[in-house]
Amino acid sequence: MTSRYLFNRIGQALLVLWAAFTVSFVLLQAMPGDAILIKFQNPDLGLTPQQIAEIRAAYAADSPLWLQYVQTIGNFLSGNFGYSVQAGVPVSASLAAHLPVTLKLAAIGFLTAAILAVAIAFLSSLAPFAWLRSAIQSVPSLFISIPTFWLGIMLIQIFSFRLKLVPVINPGPWQEFILPVATLAVPISAPLAQVLVRNIDAVLTQPFITVARAKGATQGRVLWRHVAKNALLPTLTIAGVLFGELIAGAVVTETVFGLNGIGGLTERAVGTQDVAVLQAIVVLSAAAFVAINLIVDLLYPVLDPRLRTRSGATA
């Protein structure tokens, strides 16, 4: 990996990020709808047109578009994401307040999903009968077909109302995360399990597996000692897709369970046309997506020596 490749790759990532910012600006800020009018034209507030004009000036809502664009880029670069019109607080403060819940949910949910996916993939290749194998392998496609919001509601219905295992009112700090984590883990585990199953099948056809079998290794030992490492690595390539699933899952899960995280904030921002909040969330997720893909691209040759030698040979 030359420093020139590194430089190119980072430059490309920044370009995509800039373009994503522009797309979000065009979609959200250059549009005719107006969050300021929605909130302040309410007759109950009793504001005069002059006062509304002052508020508009304070939000710089009427300056020319190109000026708004340049200003917004400058603000975003310095970490200022503007003001939430509905809440009346800086967007960055709002994001910081809502982030911990989402981070906790996402971290535990992702871990659960990974365990679930590995279990599905390995059980399917250990299954002694063909019908059992195909039954386990069809679990991911079932998981993909279940609406996440419906899954959450069904879990509440079954575990909170029927079996009364998880309290609905005043749950403990960890209890309130059990069902959301289960809900979030299902849509994330599905693509992960599919990639894992495919990888395991591919690795099992490799000559070194035949050698290991010929030396007398059992199926379990072959899987753990020889297949696991080789099959887990390629899952890194779908990290970006999983991140998208995680965001969508967080919005829906937090809405269903009334958790006050970034997902819930997103849902309310759309409902109240709070453009600044949604734009910050869109741009930050695009940044996270670009960063994840960049890291995976740069890390992959480090983790897989075969790629390193190939790039060394061509360079």
CA distance 230 to 18: 35
Letters for 242-271 (x = contact with another protein by CB under 8 A, - = none) are -xx--xx--xx--x----------xx--xx
Output the smallest distance, CB 22 to another protein, in A: 8
Residue 91 binds to another protein (criterion: CB under 8 A): no
Give the angle 213-217-219 at the CA atoms, nearest 5°: 85
- Residue number, 223 or 242, with CB nearest to another protein: 242
Burial label for 304, CB within 10 Å (0-12, 13-18, 19+), is middle
Among 37, 123, 144, 298, binds another protein (CB under 8 A): 144
Residue 8 binds to another protein (criterion: CB under 8 A): no
- Residue number, 164 or 306, with CB nearest to another protein: 164
CA distance 102 to 99: 5
Count the site residues for another protein by CB under 8 A: 45
Among 10, 41, 53, 161, binds another protein (CB under 8 A): 161
- Residue number, 34 or 304, with CB nearest to another protein: 34
Binders of another protein in range 29-58 (CB under 8 A): 31, 33
Q: Is 88 left (phi over 0), alpha (psi -120 to 50) or beta?
A: left
Could you identify the residue written with the tokens 């309130």? 176
Residue 28 binds to another protein (criterion: CB under 8 A): yes
- Residue number, 228 or 292, with CB nearest to another protein: 292
Which tokens sit at 152?
């959450």
Output the smallest distance, CB 284 to another protein, in A: 10
- Residue number, 88 or 271, with CB nearest to another protein: 271
Which tokens sit at 184?
């979030």
- Residue number, 209 or 287, with CB nearest to another protein: 287
Residue 223 binds to another protein (criterion: CB under 8 A): no
Output the smallest distance, CB 146 to another protein, in A: 6
Residue 81 binds to another protein (criterion: CB under 8 A): no
**Phi and psi (nearest 5°) for 90?**
-60, 140
Say if CB 151 and CB 186 are below 8 A apart: yes
CA distance 138 to 120: 10
Letters for 268-297 (x = contact with another protein by CB under 8 A, - = none) are --xx-x-x--x--xx--xx--xx-------
Q: Residue 42: which residues within 8 A CB-CB, separation 6 or more?
A: none
Among 37, 153, 178, 217, binds another protein (CB under 8 A): 153
Binding site for another protein (CB under 8 A): 15-17, 19-20, 23-24, 27-28, 31, 33, 141-142, 144-150, 153-154, 156-157, 161, 243-244, 247-248, 251-252, 255, 266-267, 270-271, 273, 275, 278, 281-282, 285-286, 289-290
